[in-house]
Chains A and B, each alone.
Chain A
Amino acid sequence: MVKFAGYEMPLNYPTGIIQEHNHTRQSASLFDVSHMGRILITGKDSTKSIESVSPIDLVGLSPGRQVYSFFTNSAGGIVDDFMAMNIDSTYQLIVNAANTSIDLDLLKTHAQANCKIALVETHSLIALQGPYASTALSNLSPECSKMSFMDVRTLLLDGTLCTVSRSGYTGEDGFEIAAPSEDIECLTRTLLEIPGIAPAGLGARDTLRLEAGLCLHGKDISPQISPVEANIACAIPAARRNGGIREGGFPGARPIFSLLEKGSSRFRVGIEPHGRTPLRSLTPLQTRNGRIVGEITSGSFGPSVQKPIAVAYVDISEKEPGTALHAIVRGKRLNATVVTLPFVQTRYHQN
Chain B
Amino acid sequence: MTQTRYTKDHEWAKLEHKLVTVGITDFAQSELGDLVFIQLPTIGKTVLKGDEAAVIESVKAAGEVKSPVGGSITEINEALVDAPEKVNEDPMGEGWFYKVTMSNSSEWEHLLDETEYAALVAKSS
Contacts and interface: CB of A to CB of B under 8 A. Distances in A.
B55 interface: yes
B59 A18 contact: yes
B59 A277 contact: no
Contacts of B84: 276
Interface stretch (A9-17, A98-106, A221-229): A9-17
A303 interface: yes
Contacts of B33: 11-12, 16-17, 203
A210 to B, nearest CB: 10
Interface string B26-42: 00000001101101000
B62 A301 contact: no
A300 interface: yes
A280 interface: yes
A274 to B, nearest CB: 13
Given A278-B37, A308-B36, A330 B59 contact: no
Interface in B16-34: 33-34
A266 to B, nearest CB: 26
Nearest to B85: A18
Chain B interface size band reads 10 to 19
Contacts of B34: 16-19, 301
Interface string A275-307: 011101000000000000000000011010000
B59 A276 contact: no
Contacts of A308: 36-37
B52 to A, nearest CB: 9
Interface string A222-239: 000000000000000000
A277 B56 CA distance: 9
A207 interface: yes
B36 A203 contact: no
A301 B36 contact: yes
Contact of A17 (B55, B57, B60, B62): B60
A18 B89 CA distance: 14
Interface in A249-279: 276-278
Contacts of A17: 33-34, 59-60
A300 B35 CA distance: 11
Contact of B62 (A11, A18, A280): A280
Interface of B: 33-34, 36-37, 39, 55, 57, 59-60, 62, 81, 84, 88
25 contacts: A11-B33, A12-B33, A16-B88, A17-B33, A17-B34, A17-B59, A17-B60, A18-B34, A18-B59, A19-B34, A203-B33, A203-B59, A203-B60, A207-B59, A276-B84, A277-B39, A277-B57, A278-B57, A278-B62, A280-B62, A300-B59, A301-B36, A301-B59, A303-B59, A308-B37
Given A11-B33, A18-B34, 6 more contacts: A17-B60, A18-B59, A276-B81, A301-B57, A301-B59, A303-B59
